[in-house]
A and B are shown apart, each in its own frame.
Chain A
Amino acid sequence: MAKQTFTTGQVLTAAQMTSLQQTAMGGGSATAKTASYVLVAADAGTSVLMNSASSTTITVNTALFAAGDTVYIQNLGAGVSTITAGTATVNTSASLALAQYEGGQLYFNSTSDAIFIKGAGAAAASGGMTLLSTTTLTGASVTLSSISQSYKQLYLVFKNYLPATSGSYLTLNINSDTGTRYYAGDVYGQGAGTYTFNRTFFYMTSGAHNTVTQMTGFATFYDYTNTTTWKMATVSTFNNDATTSTSLRQNLMTEVFNQTGAITSLTLQPSSGNFTSGTILLYGVN
């Protein structure tokens, strides 16, 4: 039941009492939101249930809630729901992103300032993967931006990369940097020696066929938020050979980028031409 203003002598109905009891017990009816939602004053004291397969936001604005008001937010859907400060301020010691089955309480300190207390269902501190994005490969390049800095590793999954131009590699750039700052070695290493950063991208695949694909694979980016070391990825992918689609190409690489800034964006593109199709899934890993 949304927050009410009662008057002296008012008689409550049985339905109202039941609803109040339900709210007092931490529950309360919730109408599922299937798209991004902006909180309204009537949400005070209620539960807002998100249920979408795609990413959504819950926007918090000022002058709607009073100090002491609470709104419980829970995410039932597969898409990440992110609590977003609109005109209000929202602070938290955890993440504002709610993966599926996560929830928490938004508590208002004032009409313009709230804290989010992530509750039951939150990702275990000891480990877990959170889906941050599911993206279709289209056009000439796809950039995953504003990557959360709340995880230990990034795990990128590739499915059915198909370039328009036969023989195109799938390439990846970190933080939109296309300088000659990348090095690719095979997974067994190159042995002792002096090597140079001689590439302007990471390889995600070998040259791929442009009409047939059963391409699959993944890349892991370690300790991607630190600001003192080079950024490294291990990549393991298989794709259909550019000439003979029934043959395969294997790409098993350890790659390094010689910049120390945290990874905040990843850009994928074919080494030539456009994407025809493909899907990438980005996970945050703890």
Chain B
Amino acid sequence: MTKSIPQVKIVNCETGQEIVRDATAQEIAQMDAIAANAQEAQAEAEAKATAKATLLTRLGITAEEAALLLS
């Protein structure tokens, strides 16, 4: 099965001209890099959330109570 090539749209704000074309290999690599970096960010956020939940459990308080302490 052939993987479809991503399409990119480029809009010239001076003239209003729109071009829609296949992404180049470089653009596809850049999209992949952004996706990888986003996944990394997501993993970091999830790890932070897990650490926070673990700490709350250890302290025996809820997130709302923790927020109240910090307000």
- Find chain A residues with CB under 8 A from B39 CB: 271
**A138 contacts chain B at the CB level, 8 A cutoff:** yes
- Find chain A residues with CB under 8 A from B27 CB: 141
The answer to whether residues A143 and B11 also contact, given A169-B38, A201-B34 and a CB cut-off of 8 A, is yes
Question: Would you call B34 and A148 a contact (CB within 8 A)?
Answer: no
Question: Would you call A142 and B13 a contact (CB within 8 A)?
Answer: no
- Find chain B residues with CB under 8 A from A139 CB: 6-9, 20
- Find chain A residues with CB under 8 A from B18 CB: 135
Min CB gap B36→A, angstroms: 8
Question: Would you call A148 and B7 a contact (CB within 8 A)?
Answer: no
Contact of A200 among B7, B13, B16, B37 (CB under 8 A): B37
**A274 contacts chain B at the CB level, 8 A cutoff:** yes
Contact of B13 among A138, A141, A147, A274 (CB under 8 A): A147
Question: Would you call A80 and B7 a contact (CB within 8 A)?
Answer: no
A-B contact count (CB 8 A): 95
Min CB gap A35→B, angstroms: 10
- Find chain B residues with CB under 8 A from A148 CB: 13-14
**A279 contacts chain B at the CB level, 8 A cutoff:** no
Question: Would you call A178 and B30 a contact (CB within 8 A)?
Answer: yes
Size of interface on B: residues with Cβ below 8 Å to A:
25
**B66 contacts chain A at the CB level, 8 A cutoff:** no
Question: Would you call B14 and A138 a contact (CB within 8 A)?
Answer: no
Min CB gap A268→B, angstroms: 10
Question: Would you call B37 and A201 a contact (CB within 8 A)?
Answer: yes
Give the segment of A12-20, A52-60, A120-128 that binds chain B: A52-60
Q: Which of B1-59 contact A (CB under 8 A)?
A: 6-16, 18, 20, 23, 27, 30-31, 33-35, 37-39, 41-42
**A212 contacts chain B at the CB level, 8 A cutoff:** no
- Determine the residue in chain A with the shortest Cβ distance to B30: A178
Q: How many angstroms between the C-alpha atoms of A197 and B23 in the bound complex?
A: 27
Min CB gap A225→B, angstroms: 14
- Determine the residue in chain B with the shortest Cβ distance to A178: B30
Contact of A145 among B12, B31, B38, B42 (CB under 8 A): B12
Name the 9 nearest CB pairs between A and B, nearest first.
A55-B16, A140-B6, A139-B7, A271-B38, A178-B30, A200-B37, A146-B14, A143-B10, A142-B9
Not counting A82-B16, A178-B33, a sample of 13 additional A-B residue pairs whose C-beta atoms are within 8 angstroms of each other reads: A36-B15, A55-B16, A82-B14, A133-B13, A135-B11, A135-B18, A139-B8, A139-B9, A141-B6, A142-B9, A144-B11, A167-B42, A200-B33
